[in-house]
Chain A
Amino acid sequence: MAYNKRFDGRKFDETRPIAARVGVIPEADGSAMFSIGNTVAYAAVYGPRELHPKFLQNPQSGLLRCRYNMMPFSGAGSRVKPGGGRRAKEISVVTEKALLPVLNLDEFPNAVVDVFIELPQTDAGTRCAGITAAAMALADAGLTMKDLVSSVSVGRVDDKIMVDLSYKEESYEGEVADIPIAMIPGTGEISLLQMDGKISREELQTALELGRKACLQIYEVQKSALKEKFGVGGKIG
Chain B
Amino acid sequence: MVKLGDSFREHVLSYLDAGVRFDGRKLDEFRPISVEYGISHNAEGSARVTVGSTHVLAGVKMAVEKPYPDTPADGNLMINAELLPLSSSVFESGPPSDEAIEVSRIIDRGIRESKVIDTKKLCIIPKEEVWSVMIDICTINVHGNLIDASALASVAALTSAKLPGYEGKVVKYDELTDKGIPLAASLLPVVVTVFKIGKHLIVDPLPEEESVADARISAAVLEDGSIVALQKGGGLPVTAQEIDSMLGLAQAKAGDLRKLLSGKKLK
Binding site for B on A (CB under 8 A): 24-28, 38, 40, 42-44, 46, 49, 67, 69, 71-79, 82-83, 114, 116-118, 120-123
Contact = CB atoms under 8 A, between A and B. Distances in A.
Interface string B6-25: 00000000000000000000
Interface stretch (B134-142, B175-183, B186-194, B239-247): B134-142
Given A72-B59, A78-B171, A26 B143 contact: yes
A27 B89 contact: yes
B82 A82 contact: yes
A83 B61 CA distance: 17
Interface string B66-97: 00000000000000101011111100010100
Given A72-B59, A77-B173, A78-B61, A116 B86 contact: yes
Given A67-B93, A120-B138, A73 B86 contact: no
Nearest to B64: A78
B173 to A, nearest CB: 5
A118 B40 contact: no
B53 interface: yes
B48 to A, nearest CB: 9
Nearest to B93: A67
A121 B142 CA distance: 20
Contacts of A122: 42
Q: Is the interface of A mostly helix, strand, loop or mixed?
A: loop
B82 A74 contact: no
A25 B140 contact: yes
Given A42-B140, A116-B86, A76 B93 contact: no
B63 A79 contact: yes
Nearest to A65: B93
Nearest to A29: B89
B63 to A, nearest CB: 6
Interface in B155-205: 171, 173-174
Contact of A82 (B40, B55, B136, B142): B136
B87 A71 contact: no
Given A42-B140, A72-B82, A82-B82, 17 more contacts: A25-B86, A25-B141, A26-B53, A27-B53, A28-B86, A28-B141, A38-B41, A44-B87, A67-B85, A73-B42, A73-B43, A76-B42, A79-B136, A82-B136, A120-B39, A120-B57, A121-B39
Contacts of A123: 41-42
Given A79-B136, A116-B85, A71 B59 contact: yes
Interface in B118-159: 134, 136, 138, 140-143
